[in-house]
Amino acid sequence: MTNATTTAPATDGSWLTTLSDWAVSLMEVIGPIGAGIAIALENLFPPLPSEVILPMAGLAASRGSFSLVEALVWTTAGSLAGALLLYGLGAWLGLRRLRAIAAKVPLLHPEDIDRTVAWFGRHGGKAVFFGRMIPIFRSLISIPAGVTGMPVWRFALLTAAGSLIWNCIFVLSGFFLGESWHIVERYADVLQYVVIGVSALAVAWFLVVRIRALLAERAGGAEPDLD
């Protein structure tokens, strides 16, 4: 099997680089199945960068280590496997457990869970499909699908379709761009930073609104209702 280590990011001693190097080594040892395993783990542990693993799979395919079809099939299968595990976690948690957890967490209300579930009931299909192409959310979106009881066949179909599109972009970039695959990674990094920034702003706004409401209740002499 052709050695792909020389195409991995330069080692800088960080834990993220170590994880990336491990994923590349896995592909070297067991081929496209290794890429599938690495992507399945990326779903469970989002800091493991698919933007590195997928182009490496494409580059390995371009060098003849395995075929392009194998790279796409196994990485998509890995995406689906990881997503199904998180779907199972959501199904195990269920609505009742999540509401009970929300009732015990400061600034959260069980009604927040109800609103989220209601939103997912209206937009769940689109959320799962497009969520597979958004960093961070590509993993998290599987949990509410399990909580709301989205049919497994529908969840699997939407997840596989969305994952295939995302995987094609990065696997093909590694296949056709070769050593220049980092061009695509830069754009993916920008998208990830945007998602993180928007998420941070949303959380900050939520906290501000809830804290102001809590202070207003206390100022009015009412007992704060955190349920």
Tell me the per-residue pLDDT of 18-50, one tens digit each, with 9 for 90 and over.
Answer: 666 676 777 878 888 988 988 998 888 866 777
Residue 35 near residue 75 (C-beta atoms within 8 A): yes
Instruction: Give 159's Cβ-side CA count (13 Å radius).
Output: 31
If you average pLDDT over residues 101-127, what whole number do you get? 80
Per-residue pLDDT at 5 exceeds 70:
no
Separation in Å, CA 167 to CA 83, 147, 186:
14, 26, 16
Per-residue pLDDT at 4 exceeds 60:
no
Q: How confident is the model at residue 135 (pLDDT cuts 50, 70, 90)?
A: confident
Q: How confident is the model at residue 196 (pLDDT cuts 50, 70, 90)?
A: low
Q: What is the reported pTM?
A: 0.74
- Three-state DSSP class for residue 138: helix
Per-residue pLDDT at 161 exceeds 50:
yes
Separation in Å, CA 152 to CA 71, 83, 143, 171, 216:
25, 11, 12, 27, 44
Q: Where are the domains of the chain?
A: 5-219
Tell me the per-residue pLDDT of 47-102, one tens digit each, with 9 for 90 and over.
Answer: 677 777 888 888 888 888 888 999 999 999 999 999 999 999 989 988 888 888 87
Quote the pLDDT of residue 184: 64
225 DSSP 8-state letter: -
3-class secondary structure per residue, 21-75: HHHHHHHHHHCHHHHHHHHHHHHHCCCCCHHHHHHHHHHHHHCCCCCHHHHHHHH
